[in-house]
């Protein structure tokens, strides 16, 4: 039955592709958190040091990962350069878009600082303001000619670009870390968070954005940093070692997000909005890791100690000096390409490639109203 459904899905994609021309996007404007941050938080608060970036870039590249993120694979597939972080003033080129995501960003602004809570002050409303300023100022500066024409996007790029979103995870975990129950978060917080998300998309549409690619959130109950935060009962865990109530919360958020996308399609008459189910791809990795060539799923590749090789006080890349010599305590595993989770919070490059491969077909149709 599964193979028959897969064949039918492939045939439906083929028929859609033959009915519509393949999409071309000259630029990407991304909004999100650490799942798609290509250097924003590093530019604002200090570089994510080694061994981040070691599997692909050879050195830290602003990503909380050993290599590329899903957004990097999206850029590659569209024939575009990797996105420069809007906040990064060194070596950036914005001719094919900009990345407004920063690690720790929520949709809804939090009444705390980065050092107090670990969450970024660059919430989605702030990212929109940054985009709006960039939209206007980039064209003013580009009109000066010269080198600016090679570093800033053309005016038409804003209406033809793909607007990508991967955000919401931090809203759920922030509420959970604040001792709210899963029921409280689902009933009270999620509707407000989704409302603010809809506002952001509507504002971007008003500025000319037409093509939206919206990721849902992943199974947060499978991430070590969430599992380890509070003591949990054995009955909270499913057969794969993930926390069922937290994964159900993520699914509740995703159901609300999917409904919001339906409403946005109805209200934004010229928009093509794609709802992207990364939850299923990520959950598949945790449930059937070995079947996809991975050796470890819940256990972090880079970290220190405990059941999950994760300690919030000894993060990936943590060093200490012993007898005048620096040594890693939060050190990486020997085979990051065989691990799903990089540091107890984020996915490895290999996992990100798996996730991208599961959603890539939709990019061919992302400029068409569904």
Q: What is the CATH number of the domain that holds 191?
A: 3.40.50
Distance of CA 95 to the CA centre of its chain: 22
pLDDT at 193: 98
In a domain, 321, yes or no: no
| Domain annotation covers residue 14 | no
| Known catalytic residue at 33 | no
Domain count, the chain: 1
Query: Could you identify the residue written with the tokens 């570089």?
Result: 47
Query: How many CB atoms neighbour CB 364 within 10 A?
Result: 16
For residue 341, tell me if it sits in a domain. no
159 a catalytic residue: no
| Residue labelled with tokens 């006080």 | 313
pLDDT value at residue 63: 98
Per the domain annotation, does 44 fall within a domain?
Answer: yes
Position 138 in a domain: yes
227-254 burial string, b = 16+ CB within 10 Å, else e? bbeeeeeeeeebebbbbbbbbebbbbbb
In a domain, 298, yes or no: no
Has residue 177 been placed in a domain? Answer: yes
Q: Is residue 149 part of a domain?
A: yes
Say if strands 97-99 and 162-166 run parallel, antiparallel, or are unpaired: unpaired
Mark whether 135 is an active-site residue: no
- Six-digit token string for 203: 């504002």
pLDDT value for 327: 87
**Tens place of pLDDT per residue across the chain (370 aa):** 444 444 444 444 444 444 568 899 999 999 999 999 999 999 999 999 999 999 999 999 999 999 999 999 999 999 999 999 999 999 999 999 999 999 999 999 997 766 666 789 999 999 999 999 999 999 999 999 999 999 999 999 999 999 999 999 999 999 999 999 999 999 999 999 999 999 999 999 999 999 999 999 999 999 999 999 999 999 999 999 999 999 999 999 999 999 999 999 999 999 999 999 999 999 999 999 999 999 999 999 999 989 999 999 999 999 988 888 888 899 999 999 999 999 999 999 999 999 999 999 999 999 999 7
| Helix locations, the chain, DSSP H | 2-19, 40-45, 70-77, 114-117, 124-142, 148-151, 157-160, 169-177, 182-184, 190-206, 224-227, 244-267, 278-287, 349-359
Q: How far is CA 196 from the centre of its chain?
A: 18
Catalytic residue among 66, 72, 189, 343: 343
CA 104 to chain centre: 10
Task: Yes or no: say if 250 and 218 are a contact pair by the CB < 8 Å rule.
Answer: yes
Which pair of tokens denotes residue 96?
């094919």
In 3D space, the residue among 65, 67, 92 whose CA is nearest the CA of residue 81 turns out to be 92
Question: Which residue in 34, 42, 123, 297 is the catalytic one?
Answer: 34
Which structural domain range is residue 246 located in? 28-291+349-364
The one catalytic residue in 96, 283, 304, 346 is 346
């Amino acid at each position: 039955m599964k193979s028959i459904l897969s064949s039918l899905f492939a045939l439906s994609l083929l028929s859609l592709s033959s009915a519509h021309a393949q999409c071309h996007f000259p630029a990407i404007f991304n909004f999100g958190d650490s799942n798609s941050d290509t250097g924003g938080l590093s530019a604002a608060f200090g570089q994510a040091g080694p061994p981040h970036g070691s599997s692909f870039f050879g050195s830290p590249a602003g990503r909380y990962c050993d290599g590329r993120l899903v957004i990097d694979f999206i850029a590659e597939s569209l024939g575009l350069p990797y996105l420069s972080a809007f906040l990064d003033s060194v070596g950036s080129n914005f001719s094919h878009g900009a990345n407004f995501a920063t690690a720790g960003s929520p949709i809804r602004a939090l009444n705390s600082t980065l050092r107090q809570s670990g969450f970024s002050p660059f919430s989605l409303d702030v990212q929109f303001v940054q985009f709006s300023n960039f939209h206007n100022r980039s064209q003013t500066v580009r009109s000066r000619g010269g080198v600016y024409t090679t570093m800033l996007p053309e005016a038409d790029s804003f209406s033809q670009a793909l607007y990508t979103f991967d955000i919401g995870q931090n809203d759920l975990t922030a509420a959970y870390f604040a001792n709210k129950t899963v029921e409280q978060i689902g009933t009270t917080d999620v509707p407000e968070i989704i409302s603010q998300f809809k506002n952001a998309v509507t504002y971007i549409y008003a500025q000319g954005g037409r093509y939206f690619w919206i990721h849902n959130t992943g199974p947060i109950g499978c991430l070590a940093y969430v599992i380890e935060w509070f003591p949990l009962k054995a009955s909270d865990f499913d057969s794969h070692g993930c926390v069922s109530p937290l994964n159900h919360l993520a699914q509740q958020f995703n159901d609300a997000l999917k409904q919001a996308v339906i409403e946005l399609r109805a209200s934004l008459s010229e928009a093509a909005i794609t709802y992207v189910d990364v939850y299923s791809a990520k959950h598949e990795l945790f449930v059937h890791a070995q079947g996809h060539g991975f050796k470890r799923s819940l256990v972090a590749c880079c970290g220190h100690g405990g059941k999950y090789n994760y300690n919030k006080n000894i993060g990936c890349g943590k060093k200490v000096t012993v007898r005048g010599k620096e040594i890693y305590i939060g050190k990486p595993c020997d085979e990051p390409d065989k691990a799903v989770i990089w540091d107890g919070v984020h996915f490895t490059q290999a996992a990100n490639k798996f996730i991208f491969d599961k959603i890539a077909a939709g990019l061919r149709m992302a400029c068409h109203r569904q």
